[in-house]
Structure 1
Amino acid sequence: MEHAQHRPETIKDNRFLSWVETTGNKLPHPFLLFVYLAIFVMVISAVLNYFNINTYNPKTAETYPIKSLLSGDGIAYMFTNFVKNFVNFPPLGTIITVMLGIGLAERVGLLSTLLTQTVAKAPRHLLTFFVFIAGICGSIASDANYLILIPLVAMVFHSVGRNPLAGAAAAYAAAGAGFDASLFITVGDALFAGIATDAARIIDPDAYVSAVDNYYFVASSVFILAIVGTLIIDKVVEPRLNNLHPLSTMIKERPTAEVNMTAEEKTGLKRVALFTLGYFAFVMALVLPESSALRNADGGLIPSPFLKSLVPFMFFYFLGIGIIYGKAVRKIEKVEDIPDLMADSVKALATTLVLFLAISQFIAYFKWTGIGNLVAFEGAHFLQSVGFDGYALIISFILITCICNIFMTSGSAQFALFAPIFIPMLMQLNIEPAFTLAMFRIGDSSTNIISPMSPYFSVALVYMQSYKPELRIGTLMATMLPLAIGFLVFWTSFLLLWTGLGLDVGPGVSMYIN
């Protein structure tokens, strides 16, 4: 009878999910999408040039014609600047540098050990909360966060007599819906900052967005999201799953929660902790003196060479802890192992580098033709005419982002599409580029867990099916939906409160430019 009562709802869910999946599958590969967009910019620039449409230079307050990419000058520009557009694309060097460091720490097993121990050793009454803290901050481990955390948390929940399906849901929500929040500076921070910088330079050639320009807000968001996620899992999701799929129906035997470390892993973590303290003291010694070369001309830190040097500081830190831990666990036995492991970590960036080749050309064309300024100027006027400012603007932008995120789950691809349009447009309304990025983070994260387009949607389903083989996509969607909505509502509300209190989202970065 239970299955008969829930069948209509499942069919309805599946029809909706089928529509989402079919629609999403019609989107081209992100690389091809930006190739098509670059071609579109070529054609539209020629059309606008033919009709003598003028664009606006916000720096000089002058107007000038849209430049055609299909003219002699345009064709010469595309061919002579093809390599330059790619090589000078701001996120390119940043993400490779950061990944060389973080990738080494991941390859020697340090990040997975930290994730495992954080969850397995958590007090039972704080288990869900620790899962969310670990999962949200685990985005520093990139894809490994999903692959390690979901089965681990399901097992730990099961071992302490809680529903493993709820554990898997909590881990998936933390890793997916909280992806763009963290207590650490991540590869994503560096990547988004680079794309935002390139987009902001459509309006201001001297614009710069750093990897820490959202840090105050995203670091505080970790605790808000962990509390919200804990309440939804413990009060809504797990009671519902206990009714529909009680613990007694799980096909796996109840395991032990103990996840022991080897002596080498314990030694490695102790050495990493000591290195972290020493490295922090070293950085403070470089930065604290008022005469430090890493401070600005006035002796301050906002802005300063130090903030612009965070990427190399991150690189050397992760390189250091990766080498120390790798030697302790014998993943690094000779010096030659270090560059080999670093090279292996960069292989994971192959897809991103291919995508960057197309994105860099699209943004460069958008900027060179003057279409970026035109869209920014006219779009800003439209938003002003309909009265979109302040809270209405924040809510509208986040909703647009989260809806698009269901169909385009690559955050870098979506931001590369949004940034050259929305960042210049909102700069015309006096909105800081870094604040636009803060809004984007909320929409880009919240709906990750309800998108069948996400590769980890099926990963989460498979892990859950290891406990309940008859589980279907509709059950997963119904389980994750309260978490997606909860994160979206409370995270947006938190940004509105943050803005209302006049707090900076990062060092020296508020909502408004002036």
Structure 2
Amino acid sequence: MQRLLNVIERAGNRLPHPFILFLILCVVVAVVSWLMALNGAAGVNPKTGKEIFVQSLISGDGLVFALTSLAKNYINFPPLGVILVIMLAIGVADRAGLIASLMQVSVMKAPRHLTTFVIFLVGMCSHVASDAAYIVLIPLSAMIFQAVGRNPLVGAVTGYVAVGAGYDASLLITPVDVILSGITTSAAHTIDAKAYVSPLDNYYFIACSALLLSIVGTLVIERIVEPMAGKYTGDVALDLQPIGEVETRGLKRVGWAALAFAAVIVVAVLPAGSPLRNETGGLVPSPLLESVVAILAAFFLLLGWIYGVAVGKIKSARDGIGFMTDSVKELAPTLVLFFAISQFLAWFKWTNLGEWIAISGSHLLDASGFGGTPLVLAFILLATIMSIFITSGSAQWSLMAPIFVPMMMLVGMEPALVQAAFRISDSATNVISPMSPYFAVCLAFLQRYRKDVGIGTLAAMTLPISVGFLVAWTAFLVFWIEVGLPLAPGVGLFLK
């Protein structure tokens, strides 16, 4: 195990930074498009009957496009504006302490026999605070396990895998949904310029997955990992402080505000002539679903502000605005990466390489008869292998989506189904890759309780979860496909 992890670590460390990787890919797209254009590469879109030709970026038209569209490519990158809006609001809730208090209350008040299950479920819902969930839940889970007489090392690992291995499953809509749906939409435009994948388009599947994975995670932790770890024999004292009266009062105000907010939405949508309904009076699709980003932003901003005022962290508007500013500062690495990704996707689309590959690949799939569930399983396997080396889900999906979303659309699959399949591989491998920064974070927390804990120890404790999640979640998706369940309101599995 140690040798395998060392090989993975060395291979991953040889990869360039994702920003540099996508700049290199831009150069690759330019050269490949030039060579294929010289050879007259073309194809006929089976859905539109239109013949497409690969365009060379190394040409006069290509140069003009690359230079004149640089800023536009970035500004029009689908996830950019959405993630900024969402994080402005979530930043207030996070820095006011609301997210941490909700996590602590929900886990601490769980019955002892449900502790592990609740940690998993809370971890999967904690991504509204993005990666900050790791920093809060890992030490909190360790202390809660110790408080009920269980091994705190297992507790820390439980918190880590709940957030990491369950990263793409949740009962809530999180920034992950926003980013992935934006990239999927951009990739789907290769085939259908009107295609739109909203942050809600995987909701039924990921919400049910969160419950399933919480059960699977509980069984693996309690039946495999905890017996393997044994009892804790260290001398680190318990330091778990429950939230005080001020925080409790703040949470009560937040609860009432959340109910009032939900009531306002229901009242606004209830009338048959509501402007939030579509022209026929339905809700799928409708302005309501298209407004989910604005609604979520208003929801988190309102609750975060109310809690911040209640606990004294927001004394004036300046404090709340300061929290927004801090949240945007933390997004800087993501915004920088988005610049390189947006250029790559725009160049890839302009050259028609994506559509040509999709058409050629769809012909091969049709000829081989390899489609449906077997195709989804093969895609999950490929994505899983890649996920071990590319720890950024958005970076990997930006790499895979332009090829696989159009290709699988041409054999009849909904873009949302391809995205759902990707989420399985991206999520399950998060906790076993030493390239993940939070692998080191969890290791550091484990070493607080036992100095001799190493990579092998952490890998041995996380690998069963990773494999269990991958197998169970993949089987769940196969079941979902075979039964023909919708992925979200109005979102099926296959294109009509």
TM-score when normalising by structure 1: 0.95
Q: In the alignment, is residue 321 of structure 1 matched against residue 306 of structure 2?
A: no
Q: What SS class does the counterpart of residue 278 from structure 2 fall into? A: coil
The CA distance in 2 between the partners of 1:49 and 1:133, in whole Å, is 51
2:425 alignment partner AA: G
Find the partner of 1:112 among 100, 110, 114: 100
2:346 alignment partner AA: A
2:5 corresponding residue in structure 1: 17
Q: In the alignment, is residue 40 of structure 1 matched against residue 4 of structure 2?
A: no
Cα deviation code 1:23-55 (max 9, x no counterpart): 001111111111011111111111111111114
Q: In the alignment, is residue 85 of structure 1 matched against residue 73 of structure 2?
A: yes
2:310 alignment partner AA: A
1:335 corresponding residue in structure 2: 317
Find the partner of 2:376 among 386, 390, 394: 394
1:5 corresponding residue in structure 2: none
Say if 1:156 and 1:127 are closer, same or farther in 2 by CA, change over 3 A: same
Shift of 1:388: 2.0
- Unaligned runs of 5+ residues in structure 2 are none
1:102 corresponding residue in structure 2: 90
The CA distance in 2 between the partners of 1:359 and 1:184, in whole Å, is 27
Find the partner of 2:347 among 353, 365, 377: 365
1:134 corresponding residue in structure 2: 122
Cα deviation code 1:91-113 (max 9, x no counterpart): 11000000101111001111011
2:433 corresponding residue in structure 1: 451
Q: What SS class does the counterpart of residue 287 from structure 2 fall into? A: coil
Number of residues of Structure 1 aligned to a counterpart in Structure 2: 496
CA contact (8 A) 1:135 1:174 kept: yes
Find the partner of 2:168 among 180, 183, 186: 180
- Unaligned runs of 5+ residues in structure 1 are 1-12
1:251 alignment partner AA: D
CA contact (8 A) 1:45 1:68 kept: yes
Find the partner of 1:375 among 357, 380, 383: 357
The CA distance in 2 between the partners of 1:494 and 1:55, in whole Å, is 36
1:247 corresponding residue in structure 2: 232
2:420 corresponding residue in structure 1: 438
Find the partner of 2:460 among 460, 475, 478: 478
The CA distance in 2 between the partners of 1:125 and 1:303, in whole Å, is 42
The farther-off stretch of 323-332 and 62-71 is 62-71
CA contact (8 A) 1:55 1:371 kept: no
Q: What SS class does the counterpart of residue 64 from structure 1 fall into? A: strand
The CA distance in 1 between the partners of 2:366 and 2:128, in whole Å, is 38
The CA distance in 1 between the partners of 2:394 and 2:286, in whole Å, is 27
Cα deviation code 1:400-437 (max 9, x no counterpart): 11111110010110111111111000000110001111
Q: In the alignment, is residue 158 of structure 1 matched against residue 150 of structure 2?
A: no
Q: What SS class does the counterpart of residue 317 from structure 2 fall into? A: coil
Find the partner of 1:351 among 315, 324, 333: 333
2:248 corresponding residue in structure 1: 266
The CA distance in 2 between the partners of 1:368 and 1:46, in whole Å, is 12
The CA distance in 1 between the partners of 2:337 and 2:318, in whole Å, is 31
Shift of 1:217: 0.6
CA contact (8 A) 2:47 2:410 kept: no
RMSD between superposed Cα atoms in Å:
1.2
Shift of 1:294: 1.2
2:61 corresponding residue in structure 1: 73
1:4 corresponding residue in structure 2: none
The CA distance in 1 between the partners of 2:80 and 2:437, in whole Å, is 24
Find the partner of 2:409 among 427, 433, 440: 427
Shift of 1:251: 3.2
1:15 alignment partner AA: R
Q: What SS class does the counterpart of residue 503 from structure 1 fall into? A: coil
CA contact (8 A) 1:55 1:370 kept: no
TM-score when normalising by structure 2: 0.98
2:219 corresponding residue in structure 1: 231
2:471 corresponding residue in structure 1: 489
The CA distance in 1 between the partners of 2:421 and 2:104, in whole Å, is 31
Say if 1:349 and 1:57 are closer, same or farther in 2 by CA, change over 3 A: same
Q: What SS class does the counterpart of residue 448 from structure 1 fall into? A: coil
2:170 alignment partner AA: S
CA contact (8 A) 1:435 1:509 kept: no
The CA distance in 1 between the partners of 2:45 and 2:359, in whole Å, is 9
Shift of 1:59: 5.5
